[in-house]
């Protein structure tokens, strides 16, 4: 990146020579004391950098007495590097410009950015003695080294030389790596036990890659709980209690696999001062960034706080891959080498990234299962609560209905006694000779008698309905003639139909040989009487009411058809409800309590039968009743 004409040294060098020059600068810096800054391209490993910086190597030495910069750019296609365009300079402006450009690669609030800005301000002209000392070191190196030429890449037409053993070893390692990844994938597919999957996976991967330590770092905001985490208060490496006020991306280590017991455990360790000051330092992982640090001493040379933390945790080299699913950063898979620097190769990186992807799948599965389990438990609890509430409501309704029915039955019995006297005495008085009563008095007695009869019928309906609902009604089963029962019901209402000028028709469609039927004859006649009464009531003058009777298999079918006012379709669901009158209460034209059809339906169902209705407004209605034959016993 530097093109200043003041550079002291500029030429194309093999990589080996470039590295040796960098080592010379580092040796020179070591003689200057601890205040000297030594930086290499390793400091860039922890951040995302532009493409031009990815093809660059450098060694930077900065102090108040001596500063130097060795920078080189790779030649050739990407991935095939044999030499570098190297530049060595002691020019203060060139060094300051390089530090300025390097500083801007880091966030403004980072320690590295602040320290580079501080070192940029301390650059001074090199001390002549120190400059001469480095010149002697360089001359000594040049005199002791044979003439270095650029090593050309092998010619594509040159005969290839294969060494079988290294190739075979590489293939075996790749096969073993694929087998390990398949084992982890299979385990994830077979099991939903996240702690077992996590612990087994990191143990197997650590052993395969011969790592000193492999850990899983979980961000505090992640949902899935780990059983492996201790419940004791969190401690840092200096055993000081940590506050739980993590910021958005604070977290802790939840799983760990160690090579030996001599390696420091970092399970549950966290750090609240160095790298959770802002959340931006984690954002790169959300974008898929992987961190490969060969030597923390070089990469974190300007991050004193973090470097001390890594030293305490016994970390010399590390690799971190993000564990992500659905664009959510759950945590990191972090590999450590504790004692020596380690250059992470592509095979190791690819395996660790693949394992991190598989762990993300396992975590996602566990989170879905946890959500499903919670929803199931919530639903089960709601069902239990709802069932309990419905049971309580049902018991309360049954109790209220029973009390109401018992009350109505009691009151009906209490009313029947005086009402019987009223009807009996008025009937007796009506049979007296005409000369002893005036016509007006006889009219009053007839009104009293008719009203009593009407009230008696209503009370009997209430009494019957309440007894059925209270479960106290029993059917008296006997064999009888269907025709006789139907004719009896018709005859009892013929006088009423005649007075209303309604034609009462009996349509008998029954085989005389099937006339005998088994049921409660009295209740069957009551059913027919209620249906015929209802039809006569709502049929205008000159209309007709027809009773049809036939038998299918073991079922007697009664059908009452009228040419009355009909029933609107929206009111049909209310037809068999108690105390329902379908005409408007404020302009009632038809008397009744609304119990007749409700009682009829109860009596039909008591026979295990059914009743249906078809109706058209202004045309009429058809009520059809199916009553199956009953066994010769008392049915409750």
Residue 233 burial (CB count, 10 A): 9
- With bands split at pLDDT 50, 70 and 90, how would you rate the model's confidence at 161? very low
Q: Could you give the C-alpha distances from 418 to 406, 458, 463, in angstroms and in order?
A: 20, 15, 16
State the average pLDDT over residues 177-190: 77
- With bands split at pLDDT 50, 70 and 90, how would you rate the model's confidence at 231? very low
State the average pLDDT over residues 77-105: 83
Most confident stretch, 255-269, 280-294, 362-376, 608-622? 608-622
Distance, CA of 192 to CA of 205 (rounded, Å): 20
Least trusted range by pLDDT, from 149-163, 230-244, 289-303, 461-475: 230-244
pLDDT score at 577: 78
Comparing 409 with 22, which gets the higher pLDDT?
22
Say whether pLDDT at 240 is over 60: no
Residue 73 burial (10 A CB sphere; 0-12, 13-18, 19+): middle
pLDDT score at 584: 43
- With bands split at pLDDT 50, 70 and 90, how would you rate the model's confidence at 592? low
pLDDT score at 77: 59
Least trusted range by pLDDT, from 92-101, 456-465, 587-596, 623-632: 587-596
Q: Tokens for 438?
A: 């005036």
Q: Pick from 324, 352, 128: which is nearest to 222 by CA?
A: 324
Q: Tokens for 36?
A: 């000297």
pLDDT score at 399: 85
Distance, CA of 182 to CA of 164 (rounded, Å): 27
Distance, CA of 99 to CA of 591 (rounded, Å): 105
Comparing 438 with 36, which gets the higher pLDDT?
36
Distance, CA of 263 to CA of 55 (rounded, Å): 36
pLDDT score at 271: 64
Say whether pLDDT at 555 is over 90: yes
- Residue 608 Rama label (left phi>0; alpha psi -120 to 50; beta): left
State the average pLDDT over residues 489-510: 92
Q: How many CA atoms lie within 13 A of 333 on its CB side?
A: 28
Say whether pLDDT at 327 is over 90: no
pLDDT score at 50: 87
pLDDT score at 412: 65
Q: Which residues of 464-495 are buried (b: 16+ CB within 10 A; e: fewer)?
A: bbbbbbbeebebebeebebbebbbebbeebee
Q: Which residues of 235-246 are buried (b: 16+ CB within 10 A; e: fewer)?
A: ebbeeeebeeeb
pLDDT score at 338: 92
- With bands split at pLDDT 50, 70 and 90, how would you rate the model's confidence at 507? very high
- Residue owning tokens 């030389």: 161
Residue 188 burial (10 A CB sphere; 0-12, 13-18, 19+): buried
Say whether pLDDT at 78 is over 60: no
Positive or negative torsion for Cα 466, 471, 476, 480:
positive
State the average pLDDT over residues 340-367: 87
State the average pLDDT over residues 570-575: 84
pLDDT score at 81: 62
Three-state SS for 539? Answer: coil
Q: Tokens for 166?
A: 């290294």
**Stated pTM of the model:** 0.54
Comparing 175 with 495, which gets the higher pLDDT?
495
Whether 44 and 53 have beta carbons less than 8 Å apart is answered as yes
Query: Percent of the chain scored above 70 by pLDDT?
Result: 81
Per DSSP, 434 falls in state: G
Query: Percent of the chain scored above 90 by pLDDT?
Result: 23
Most confident stretch, 174-183, 362-371, 510-519? 510-519
Whether 522 and 634 have beta carbons less than 8 Å apart is answered as no
State the average pLDDT over residues 312-330: 88
pLDDT score at 364: 84
State the average pLDDT over residues 115-121: 87
Say whether pLDDT at 253 is over 90: no
Beta bridge partners of 252: 218
Per DSSP, 277 falls in state: S
Angle between helical axes of 521-537 and 482-499 (0-180°, round to 10): 30
Distance, CA of 636 to CA of 621 (rounded, Å): 32
Residue 617 CA, distance from chain mean position? 52
Write phi, then psi, for 319 (nearest 5 degrees): -135, 135
Distance, CA of 601 to CA of 594 (rounded, Å): 12
pLDDT score at 367: 81
Least trusted range by pLDDT, from 70-74, 267-271, 386-390, 549-553: 267-271
Distance, CA of 319 to CA of 254 (rounded, Å): 17
Sheet holding 503-508, edge to edge: 503-508, 544-552, 555-562, 620-628, 610-616
pLDDT score at 1: 41
State the average pLDDT for the chain: 80
Three-state SS for 385? Answer: helix
Q: Pick from 33, 94, 83: which is nearest to 60 by CA?
A: 94
- With bands split at pLDDT 50, 70 and 90, how would you rate the model's confidence at 580? low
Comparing 368 with 586, which gets the higher pLDDT?
368
- With bands split at pLDDT 50, 70 and 90, how would you rate the model's confidence at 237? very low
């Amino acid at each position: 990146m530097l093109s200043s004409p003041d550079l002291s040294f500029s030429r194309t060098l093999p990589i080996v020579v470039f590295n040796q020059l960098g080592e010379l600068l580092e040796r020179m810096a070591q003689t200057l004391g601890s205040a000297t800054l030594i930086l290499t391209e390793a400091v860039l490993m922890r951040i995302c950098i532009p493409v031009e910086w990815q093809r660059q190597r450098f060694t930077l030495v900065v102090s108040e007495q001596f500063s130097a910069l060795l920078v080189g750019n790779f030649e050739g296609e990407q991935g095939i590097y044999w030499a570098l365009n190297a530049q060595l300079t002691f020019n203060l402006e060139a060094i300051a410009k390089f530090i300025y450009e390097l500083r801007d690669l880091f966030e403004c609030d980072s320690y590295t950015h602040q320290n580079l800005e501080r070192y940029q301000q301390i650059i001074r002209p090199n001390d002549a003695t120190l400059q001469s000392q480095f010149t002697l070191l360089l001359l000594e190196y040049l005199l002791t080294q044979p003439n270095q030429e650029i090593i050309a890449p092998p010619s594509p037409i040159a005969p290839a030389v294969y060494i079988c053993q290294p190739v075979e070893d590489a293939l075996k390692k790749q096969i073993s790596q694929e087998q390990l990844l398949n084992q982890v994938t299979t385990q994830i597919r077979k099991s939903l036990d996240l702690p077992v999957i996590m612990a087994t996976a990191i143990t197997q991967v650590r052993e395969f890659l011969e790592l000193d330590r492999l850990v899983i770092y979980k961000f505090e905001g992640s949902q899935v709980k780990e059983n492996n985490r201790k419940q004791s208060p969190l401690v840092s490496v200096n055993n000081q209690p940590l506050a739980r006020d993590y910021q958005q991306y604070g977290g802790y280590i939840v799983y760990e696999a160690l090579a030996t017991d001599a390696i420091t455990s970092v399970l549950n360790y966290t750090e609240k001062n160095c790298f959770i000051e802002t959340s931006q330092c984690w954002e790169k992982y959300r974008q898929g960034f992987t961190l490969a640090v060969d030597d923390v001493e070089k990469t974190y040379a300007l991050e004193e706080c973090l470097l001390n933390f890594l030293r305490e945790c016994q970390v010399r080299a590390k690799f971190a891959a993000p564990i992500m699913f659905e664009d959510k950063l759950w945590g990191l898979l972090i590999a450590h080498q504790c004692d020596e620097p380690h250059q992470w190769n592509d095979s190791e990186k690819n395996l660790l990234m693949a394992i991190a992807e598989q762990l993300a799948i396992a975590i996602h599965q566990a989170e879905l299962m946890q959500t499903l389990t919670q929803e199931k438990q919530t639903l089960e609890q709601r069902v239990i609560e709802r069932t309990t509430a419905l049971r309580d409501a049902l018991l309360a309704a049954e109790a209220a209905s029973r009390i109401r029915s018992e009350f109505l039955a009691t009151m009906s019995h209490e009313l029947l006694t005086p009402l019987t006297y009223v009807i009996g005495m008025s009937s007796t008085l009506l049979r007296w000779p005409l000369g002893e009563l005036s016509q007006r008095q006889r009219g009053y007695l007839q009104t009293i008698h008719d009203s009593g009869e009407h009230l008696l019928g209503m009370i009997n309906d209430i009494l019957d309905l309440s007894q059925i609902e209270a479960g106290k009604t029993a059917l008296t089963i006997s064999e009888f003639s269907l025709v006789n029962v139907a004719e009896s019901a018709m005859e009892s209402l013929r006088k009423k139909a005649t007075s209303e000028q309604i034609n009462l028709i009996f349509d008998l469609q029954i085989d005389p040989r099937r006339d005998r039927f088994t049921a409660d004859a009295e209740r069957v006649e009551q059913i027919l009487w209620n249906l015929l009464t209802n039809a006569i009531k709502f049929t205008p003058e000159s209309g007709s009411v027809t009773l049809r009777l036939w038998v299918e298999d073991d079922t007697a079918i009664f059908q009452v058809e009228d040419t009355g006012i009909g029933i609107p379709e929206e009111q049909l669901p209310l037809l068999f409800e108690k105390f329902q009158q379908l005409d408007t209460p404020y302009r009632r034209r038809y008397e009744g309590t609304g119990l007749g059809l409700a009682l009829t339906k109860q009596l039909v169902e008591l026979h295990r039968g059914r009743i249906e209705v078809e109706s058209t407004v202004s045309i009429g209605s058809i009520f059809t009743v199916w009553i199956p034959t009953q066994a010769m016993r008392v049915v409750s």
